[in-house]
Amino acid sequence: MPAEKPAHGSLLRAGHTTSALIVLFLTGFILSLTAIYLSLPSRVAADGKDSQVRQSADGSRLISESNGMVATHEGQRLKVVLDLGNVVLRTTDSGKIDYRVRLEVSSSEKDAQRLLREFTTTARETPEGVYFRGQSFGRQSSGRLWVTVELNIPKNYNVDITTGGGNIQADDINGRASLVTSGGTIIAGNIGGSAHLETAGGHLTLKNVTGDLTAISGGGHITAGAISGSATLHTNGGHIRAESIHGPAHLSTGGGNIFVEHSGSELFADTVGGQIEVGETSGLVKAKNGGGGIRVVRVSGPTNLETVGGSIYLTQVDSAVEASTGSGAITAWFVTPVKSPSQCEFHSGAGDIVVYIPRQLPVTIDAQVQSGDEHQVSFDPAFATTYRRDNSSGGGPLRAEGSLNGGGEVIRLQTVGGNIRVILSDTAKQLELYKQQMEQLQQKLAFQLKLFQDARQLQNLPQQR
């Protein structure tokens, strides 16, 4: 008797059952592998790099870490280009560059694994040194993926680092340095060559620079130690502070303070509304302030100072000075002997002008008060003085001329709505005042250095999101 053929529907049901079992088996197998992959560190060796993926202790983040090494020679250059991420740079006594890359993503991100995979790093030796590249192939990694790259380089090495968004921290570098970020803080030690630091919005802090320094910030503070070469420092709104600048200096801020303890050459300082304070100067000084005050402790070169509304204070003047203020006062202490012909002009719109003259200095004072009916000019009795009014009725401008020791270089003083006083200076008092003001400037710099050291103690700067 012939065997019964199975019904067509039975074959279909059997086939479907088998397919379902296979799908369930494969799904379970894949899920098991995924669970093992996420729960246990995996280590892969590729292109000389070791990599690990693990979860943080609290399970809130998924972390990928990789490291590698590239051989190199001292005196060469490291070029780093990152799409995003922090950079920590350390120096060692070795002929190689070690690096470690740490990626972090929130475990709550549905595509966490993809975010980690889409950020890749490569490092290779070049004729100039070492090239390191970190890039993300994902369009939405910024703000979701956190990247930190740590590099150990030889001490005698040049560096060129650019990141699309993150902080940069560097040890002492015995070579040229270019550190650029699209948004973050930069902290560096001593630079043994020229330096270029730039950020779109963070603070810039470094120690001494052997060569020229260019530092640009979109709005943060700029703090530097001794600069052996020239300096170009600009911020859109923060403060600028430098211990000393040996070469020509151009300092500008959109509204912060400018502070320089020593200037060895030409100094150009410009702020929209902060304070400008300079210690000792040896060359031309031009300072312009949109609203705050200007103080120069020792003036030893041609000087031009201008402020719209603040006061001007000069402790030791032995060269030509032009100073003007819209509404503030002007106070100046002259010294003897002068270094060069010291014809000076002081102008104030509404403030008083007070000058202190050494008893031994041969000088002529030409003083004028526009509103002479309400304000006055007074000289120390040691001056031979003559007064006159341009209006015989007594209500016009008051002009006075006084000479000391037979007269000499002319100092011109003019105010519209203030008083003018010419006083013989006390040498001992002036010296004490000079010391006090220099100490104040040094204390401010020491405070900034303390902030710098505190920042250096942080092993990792705050992550940029």
DSSP for 171-233 reads --BSS-EEEEESSS-EEE--BSS-EEEEESSS-EEE--BSS-EEEEESSS-EEEEEESS-EEE
Residue 268: both structure tokens together: 């150009």
CB-hemisphere CA count at 13 Å for 221?
15
Residue predicted with more confidence, 31 or 180: 180
Yes or no: say if 336 and 353 are a contact pair by the CB < 8 Å rule. no
pLDDT attached to residue 48: 42
pLDDT attached to residue 49: 52
Yes or no: say if 267 and 240 are a contact pair by the CB < 8 Å rule. no
Q: Residue 62, Cβ neighbours under 10 Å: how many?
A: 21
pLDDT attached to residue 209: 98
pLDDT attached to residue 144: 84
pLDDT attached to residue 259: 94
- Separation between Cα atoms, residue 396 and residue 115, nearest integer Å: 79
pLDDT attached to residue 337: 72
Q: What are phi and psi of 227, to 5 degrees?
A: -115, 115
- Separation between Cα atoms, residue 416 and residue 109, nearest integer Å: 68
- Separation between Cα atoms, residue 243 and residue 170, nearest integer Å: 20
Task: Report the mean per-residue pLDDT for the chain.
Answer: 84
Q: Kindly report which listed range (94-98, 135-139, 206-210, 394-398) carries the lowest average pLDDT score.
A: 394-398
To the nearest 10°, report the CA torsion of 178, 180, 186, 191.
0
pLDDT attached to residue 451: 61
Tokens 């000393």 correspond to 244
pLDDT attached to residue 318: 86
pLDDT attached to residue 35: 40
Domain locations in the chain?
Answer: 52-155
What are the angstrom distances between the C-alpha of 324 and each of 142, 146, 170, 313, 343?
Answer: 50, 52, 43, 11, 15
The answer to whether the peptide bond before residue 337 is cis (omega within 30 degrees of 0) is yes
Yes or no: say if 116 and 64 are a contact pair by the CB < 8 Å rule. yes
The answer to whether the peptide bond before residue 154 is cis (omega within 30 degrees of 0) is no
Q: For the residues 414-420, what does the mean pLDDT come to?
A: 95
pLDDT attached to residue 45: 31
In terms of Cα–Cα distance, which of 64, 47, 52, 44 is closest to 122?
Answer: 47
| pLDDT, tens only, 273-289 | 899 999 999 999 999 99
Residue predicted with more confidence, 20 or 273: 273
| pLDDT, tens only, 30-58 | 444 444 333 333 333 333 455 677 877 77
Q: For the residues 70-83, what does the mean pLDDT come to?
A: 96
| pLDDT, tens only, 302-338 | 999 999 999 999 988 988 999 999 999 999 999 877 6
Using DSSP bridges, classify how beta strands 49-55 and 61-71 pair: parallel, antiparallel or unpaired. antiparallel
Q: In a 10 Å sphere around its CB, with 0-12 CB exposed, 13-18 middle and 19+ buried, how is residue 81 labelled?
A: middle
Q: Kindly report which listed range (56-70, 193-207, 310-324) carries the lowest average pLDDT score.
A: 56-70
CB-hemisphere CA count at 13 Å for 339?
14
| Amino acid identity, position 58 | D
Q: How many residues appear in the chain?
A: 465
Confidence bin at 23 (pLDDT 50/70/90): very low
Confidence bin at 112 (pLDDT 50/70/90): confident
Start-to-end Cα distance in the chain? 80
Residue predicted with more confidence, 144 or 192: 192
Residue 284: both structure tokens together: 């031309």
Yes or no: say if 435 and 161 are a contact pair by the CB < 8 Å rule. no
Residue predicted with more confidence, 111 or 420: 420
- Separation between Cα atoms, residue 96 and residue 94, nearest integer Å: 6
% of the chain beyond a pLDDT of 70: 81
| pLDDT, tens only, 372-393 | 678 899 999 999 999 988 765 5
Q: Residue 349, Cβ neighbours under 10 Å: how many?
A: 17
Residue predicted with more confidence, 137 or 347: 347
Residue predicted with more confidence, 252 or 17: 252
Yes or no: say if 315 and 437 are a contact pair by the CB < 8 Å rule. yes
Q: How far is CA 346 from the centre of its chain?
A: 33
- Separation between Cα atoms, residue 70 and residue 89, nearest integer Å: 15
Positive/negative CA dihedral, 452, 458, 464, 465: negative
| Amino acid identity, position 307 | T
3-class SS at 372? coil
Q: Which helix (H) or strand (E) holds 408?
A: none
Beta bridge partners of 306: 288, 324
DSSP for 72-139 reads --TT-EEEEEESS-EEEEEEESSSEEEEEEEEEEETT-TTHHHHHHHEEEEEEEETTEEEEEEEE--T
